[in-house]
Amino acid sequence: MQQEVRFSSKRFFLTLMLCACSVILLQNGDVSQSSSFAFNVVCVAVGLFICFLMFIPAAVIKRRTDADVFTLLQGRSVSALRAVAVFYALYFIYTAEFFLLPYTDMFCKKYYSDAPPCVISFLVLAGCVYAAFKGINVITRFGIFLFAFAMLTNVLIFGGSLSSLNLANNSFSFEGDPADFLKNTAYFITPGFIAVLFACLSSYVNGFRLRQTAVSLLLTGVKFICILFFVCFAVGAYASRQEYQSFVLSRVAHLGSFAGIESFLTGVSTMSVFMITSLVLCCIGKGFGKSKSLPFISFAAAVIFIIHLAAAYNQSVAMFFTAPLLFDSLTLAAAVIAPVGCYWLIRRSSREKT
């Protein structure tokens, strides 16, 4: 089996940061409409701080053993490795659906209404199978291009929205109740899935520093706050009556006679979901020792597509796979409980041998 070439952790965190930005790009009424901008900023800060805490178990394992949860168990406990691989496979299938479902819904409702969601998901998954087959090194190199494209998109959207800013559209006062805080914070914890990607793929990276995690989440928070600010003060109450508020913002933005910025946002959303799903397939393959195995990667993608097909025709299935609280709970288990359990198991077996 062909081995992955190690690469810089800075490049990896750049990729993870871009994956995390899909959370705000696909936001669709997940943030309470009765809470003020200042209140939402606090929710972003609390949510991303919890995400930072989720990185700590995997970061400790990486610093002490230079391994991830899969390589930590290799050659030591076959049964534990299989159980962990199954758990993470189920988690990553859920993660793929959590982003793929709203993406295809937004694409078909807001950008190209003639496209069936299942056709879009099939095309995205087909590309992801090829990317996962080529490996994480190639995916993260693609992240450099996406970063440049995302920066251009940010300039166009935020710069094009300046002329529409009206501070009377919203308030800087601190308005929101405990229920709003729980709802908003739960949504802004969902970027914690990148901590799980790190926990499963960190053995491929060199030069890891914990501050890279903090910087990536800080920049992610800045992106979230900028989107929330312009949605509140450039679009105002109109945004609360529409689906996918970030997409609405891209339609409002214009630079002189130049419009059509929603095409750029759709492009960034597409590539972000593409990268998430590709990394998910890499993680599933690595857990079962099938990295770069085209048949296995294709099988995992087929499972994701079948679930997506079921969700397209059953609203209950779609709601199950897009529930932020459930996703946060699974992420907590995958980012904290499972790595701590694996590390404790290895430490205990090492002590027993000595």
Establish if 345 belongs to a structural domain.
no
**What tokens appear for 128 in the block?**
């992801």
pLDDT of 130: 95
Residue 255 pairs with which residues in a beta bridge? Answer: 258
The pTM for the full model equals: 0.94
Could you tell me the residue range of the domain that residue 210 belongs to? 7-321+328-338
pLDDT of 1: 42
pLDDT of 175: 87
Establish if 20 belongs to a structural domain.
yes
pLDDT of 257: 64
Count of domains in the chain? 1
Picking from 226, 221, 208, 172, the residue whose alpha carbon sits closest to that of residue 63 is 208
Establish if 1 belongs to a structural domain.
no
Establish if 89 belongs to a structural domain.
yes
Picking from 98, 291, 92, the residue whose alpha carbon sits closest to that of residue 197 is 92
Neighbours of 64 (CB within 10 A): 10
Burial letters 90-127, b for 16+ CB under 10 A, else e: ebbbbbbbbbbbbbbbbbbebbeeeeebbebbbebbeb
Establish if 135 belongs to a structural domain.
yes
Establish if 344 belongs to a structural domain.
no
Neighbours of 248 (CB within 10 A): 20
pLDDT of 176: 87
Neighbours of 81 (CB within 10 A): 21
pLDDT tens for the chain, residues 1 to 354 = 456 678 899 999 999 999 999 999 999 989 988 888 999 999 999 999 999 999 999 999 999 999 999 998 887 778 888 999 999 999 999 999 999 999 999 999 888 888 888 999 999 999 999 999 999 999 999 889 888 999 999 998 998 888 888 887 777 888 889 999 999 999 999 999 999 999 999 999 999 999 999 999 999 999 999 999 999 988 877 877 888 999 989 888 877 666 668 889 999 999 999 999 999 999 999 999 998 899 999 999 999 999 999 998 899 999 999 999 999 999 999 999 999 998 888 887 666 665
CB 200 within 8 A of CB 68: yes
Pairwise CA distance, residues 117 & 100, whole Å = 10
CATH code at 25? 1.10.4160.10
pLDDT of 258: 67
Pairwise CA distance, residues 342 & 348, whole Å = 10
Pairwise CA distance, residues 249 & 256, whole Å = 16
Establish if 77 belongs to a structural domain.
yes
Establish if 75 belongs to a structural domain.
yes
pLDDT of 254: 78
Pairwise CA distance, residues 232 & 95, whole Å = 29
**What tokens appear for 213 in the block?**
């995690």
pLDDT of 77: 74
